[in-house]
């Protein structure tokens, strides 16, 4: 009987506890946890909850100090600036009090940093980056295809719908990525996108601290990073500082009246990126470029708001530390406030000196792209701390060169030669990311009119020129898009990533002979490049193209590579006399693609038609 009474009493107390817990007001704290021992000991907490603006924060840990508390007009927000100089790893209690009454109680944790976290090495010219659109690569967990409460459901028949690819699918195919020879992995955004439609691409963030559940979880993203790292593959996170999605939780209760640009007065950006460097540009054009919105579903963030600026910087540091990142790709780099982007990159690189960030500035003008790279001395005094840029000028010149004929004095390969010659504009051309295509443009095979031979020439160039190569998933199997400039088709499903696929690019099943040849061609070059120091880091010397042939050399110490790109439809006899300064008496060169050895001592060689040669000189 006594035992029965005790059980009833225990049940009653547990019920009271659960009821009290259920009645406790909701409190959002961001970032939800942090680390002790960061170089910058300051931390700003954003708190959101009903009428918390006048509550007093109290900490239980003496090592963490409240520097100041910032109240905003919206009473549902409170910003707390902490000093963590003397804080040790561990948990402490954050209480929000109304007089002596505790209204909210939150257990905050300062984690122990991993050894060497500050000295992590970002992607560099020894790497080749594989770019993946996660919704379209592989469906590793069908159970998360459709998530309750999220409007954009699975619809694989819709080119702009969600197809079910996820983080689990990438993890399951890391062996393929490693075997191909890639050493870095750039995954298009995986953070929550609770948009009603076309959410698959990830560029309309609705929660900066949460992976979209249709892709997986924060823990799965960390697992992807860890398992990739075990294979020597660095994880590059795709980030967006410029805008959010219209379904972001902020939009229901904006913190301040200036959290967004043109808040309450929607204006579209003019996309006039040149205005930021143009000495004659109007202030109106400059402001409309940076402050205007892409579309109404992408509210433009006002990084001049100091609270928001700190929030975004801390979010970046949080993901680097939490997910053990090996790099960041920053979307639409020139669209946020330029001063903020300078401070954002400075803070990241100060915390992680060996890290790398590549910015997107979609301009074919090298002068516009070079403006944003660290070390560039700009006439208007703008200082950037951004290490790397996406090399759109080289991409545009490469495709133009390959499509153009060689009949004129300034046609064909000369388009590419002339753009590469402008490298004097860059502070560090070796740290540019070069690529044949990406998720926002037609597939390179499509751009080159589905000519596999020209596509091989393009890939041979990208993998042997200066810089850091990036290859989009499916390029290695000649994926193409019949409808040009259609993003839903460009980002089509990788064959073999879904149960029931008749073609499986991971195993080679069902691929055409041409596709298999391209896959093996890419794999051979990628794996050779892993140990080719001359190509990774060496000096580049190129010769003016002549009669459809472009020749350049890469050299580091005693290692030398000669790259010959022949666009001619027929075999071409190449005279070697003018290359004597680089050949320097070398008698043989072995093509890393075919294994064939060429005799260079006879003064000429016969080039295979419409094909690259990548010769190791010995």
CATH 2.60.40.10 in the chain: give the residue spans.
2-114
pLDDT per residue as tens digits for the range 399-439: 999 999 998 899 999 999 999 999 999 999 999 999 999 99
3-state secondary structure labels for all residues of 155-175? CCCCCCCECCCCHHHHHHCHH
How confident is the model at residue 7, as a pLDDT?
45
- H or E segment at 456? helix 452-462
Measured at the CA of 454, the angle between CA 462 and CA 520, to 5 degrees, comes to 70
Q: What percent of the chain has pLDDT over 90?
A: 94
Query: Model's pTM, two decimal places?
Result: 0.95
Note the pLDDT of residue 25.
Answer: 74
Residue ranges, CATH 3.20.20.80, the chain: 126-233+328-534
**What are the distances in angstroms from CA 361 to CA 260, 332, 372, 390, 477?**
22, 6, 9, 7, 28
The pLDDT of residue 251 is above 80: yes
- Give whole-number Cα distances, 376 to 349, 424, 426, in Å: 16, 11, 7
Place 2 in a pLDDT band, splitting at 50, 70 and 90: low
pLDDT in tens, 261-292: 999 999 999 999 999 999 999 999 999 999 99
Average pLDDT of the chain is 95
At residue 24 the predicted structure's pLDDT band, cuts being 50, 70 and 90, is low
| DSSP result, 216-245 | --HHHHHHHHHHHHHTT-EEEEEE-SSB--
As a whole number of angstroms, the distance between CA 356 and CA 248 comes to 28
120 pLDDT above the threshold of 70: yes
Element (H, E) at 129: strand 129-132
- pLDDT at res. 554: 98
pLDDT of 217 reads 98
Q: Which residues are catalytic?
A: 331, 360
Q: What is the mean pLDDT of residues 155-168?
A: 98
Distance CA 389, CA 373 (A): 7
For the cut 60, the answer to whether the pLDDT of residue 12 exceeds it is no
Examine the pLDDT at 304 and tell me if it is beyond 70.
Answer: yes
What does the pLDDT read at residue 19? 43
Q: What is the CATH topology of the domain spanning 538-617? A: Immunoglobulin-like (2.60.40)
Element (H or E) spanning 525, and its range? Answer: helix 513-529
Coil, strand or helix: which one is 244? coil
Using the predicted structure, report yes or no on whether residue 205 has a pLDDT greater than 50.
yes
Q: What is the CATH number of domain 2-114?
A: 2.60.40.10
Please tell me what DSSP assigns to residue 62: S
Q: According to CATH, what is the number of the domain 126-233+328-534?
A: 3.20.20.80
Phi, psi of 228 (to 5 degrees): -65, -45
Average pLDDT (98-111) is 96
- Mean per-residue pLDDT for 436-463? 98
pLDDT at 348: 98
Each residue of 287-300: pLDDT tens digit? Answer: 999 999 999 999 99
Residue 470's pLDDT is: 99
The boundaries of every CATH 2.60.40.1180 domain in the chain are: 538-617
pLDDT in tens, 521-542: 999 999 999 999 999 999 999 9
pLDDT reading at 20 higher than 80: no
Which of these, 111, 109, 107, 80, lies nearest to 93 by C-alpha position? 107
* Contact indicator for 291, 113 with CB cutoff of 8 Å: no
- Closest alpha carbon to 470 in 132, 92, 66: 132
- Range name among 24-28, 47-51, 97-101, 117-121 with the lowest pLDDT average: 24-28
Tell me the per-residue pLDDT of 491-503, one tens digit each, with 9 for 90 and over. 999 999 999 999 9
């Amino acid at each position: 009987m006594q035992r029965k009474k005790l059980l009833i009493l225990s049940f009653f107390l547990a019920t009271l506890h659960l009821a009290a817990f259920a009645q406790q007001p909701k409190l959002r704290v961001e970032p939800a946890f942090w680390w002790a021992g960061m170089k910058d000991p300051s931390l700003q907490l954003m708190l959101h909850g009903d009428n918390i603006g006048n509550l007093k924060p109290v900490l239980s840990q003496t090592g963490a100090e409240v520097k100041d508390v910032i109240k905003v007009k919206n009473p549902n927000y409170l910003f707390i600036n902490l000093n963590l100089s003397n804080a040790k790893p561990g948990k402490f209690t954050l209480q929000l009090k109304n007089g002596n009454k505790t209204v909210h109680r939150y257990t905050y944790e300062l984690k122990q940093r991993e050894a060497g976290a500050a000295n992590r090495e970002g992607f560099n010219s020894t790497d080749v980056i594989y770019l993946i659109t996660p919704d379209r690569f592989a469906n590793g967990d069908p159970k998360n295809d459709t998530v309750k409460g999220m409007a954009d459901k699975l619809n694989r028949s819709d080119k702009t719908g969600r197809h079910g690819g996820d983080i689990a699918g990438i993890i399951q195919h890391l062996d393929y990525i490693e075997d191909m020879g890639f050493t870095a992995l750039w995954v298009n955004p995986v953070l929550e996108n609770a948009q009603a439609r076309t959410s698959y691409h990830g560029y309309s963030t609705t929660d900066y601290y949460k992976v979209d559940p249709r892709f997986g979880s924060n823990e799965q993203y960390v697992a992807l990073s860890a398992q990739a790292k075990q294979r020597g593959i660095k994880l590059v996170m795709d980030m967006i500082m410029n805008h959010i999605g219209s379904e972001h939780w902020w939009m229901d209760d904006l913190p301040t009246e200036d959290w967004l640009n043109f808040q309450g007065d929607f204006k579209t950006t003019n996309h006039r990126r040149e205005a930021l460097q143009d000495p004659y540009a109007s202030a109106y054009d400059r402001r409309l470029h940076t402050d205007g919105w892409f579309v109404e579903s992408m509210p433009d963030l006002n990084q001049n708001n100091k609270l928001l600026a700190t929030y975004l910087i801390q979010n970046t540091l949080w993901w680097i530390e939490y997910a053990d990142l090996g790099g960041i790709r920053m979307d639409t780099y020139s669209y946020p406030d330029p001063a903020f982007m300078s401070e954002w990159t400075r803070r990241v690189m100060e915390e992680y000196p060996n890290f790398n960030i590549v910015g997107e500035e979609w301009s074919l003008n090298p002068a516009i792209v070079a403006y944003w790279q660290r070390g560039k001395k700009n006439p208007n005094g703008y200082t950037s701390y951004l290490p790397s840029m996406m090399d759109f000028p080289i991409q545009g010149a490469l495709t133009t060169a390959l499509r153009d004929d060689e009949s004129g004095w300034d046609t064909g390969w000369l388009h590419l030669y002339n753009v590469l010659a402008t490298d004097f504009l860059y502070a560090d051309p070796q740290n540019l990311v070069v690529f044949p295509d990406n998720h926002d443009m037609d597939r390179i095979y499509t751009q080159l009119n589905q000519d596999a031979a020209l596509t091989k020439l393009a890939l041979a160039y990208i993998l042997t020129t200066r810089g850091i190569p990036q290859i989009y998933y499916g390029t290695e199997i000649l994926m193409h898009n019949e409808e040009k400039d259609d993003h839903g088709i460009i980002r089509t499903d990788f064959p073999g990533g879904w149960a029931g696929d008749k073609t499986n690019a991971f195993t080679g099943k069902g691929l055409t002979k041409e596709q298999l040849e391209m896959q093996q061609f890419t794999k051979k070059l990628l794996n050779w490049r892993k140990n080719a120091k001359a190509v990774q880091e060496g000096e580049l010397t190129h010769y003016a193209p002549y009669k459809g042939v472009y020749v350049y050399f890469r050299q580091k110490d005693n290692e030398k590579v000669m790259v010959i790109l022949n666009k001619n439809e027929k075999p071409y006899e190449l005279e070697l006399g003018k290359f004597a300064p680089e050949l320097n008496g070398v008698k043989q060169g072995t093509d890393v693609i075919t294994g064939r050895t060429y005799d260079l001592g006879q003064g000429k060689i016969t080039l295979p038609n419409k094909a690259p040669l990548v010769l190791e000189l010995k």
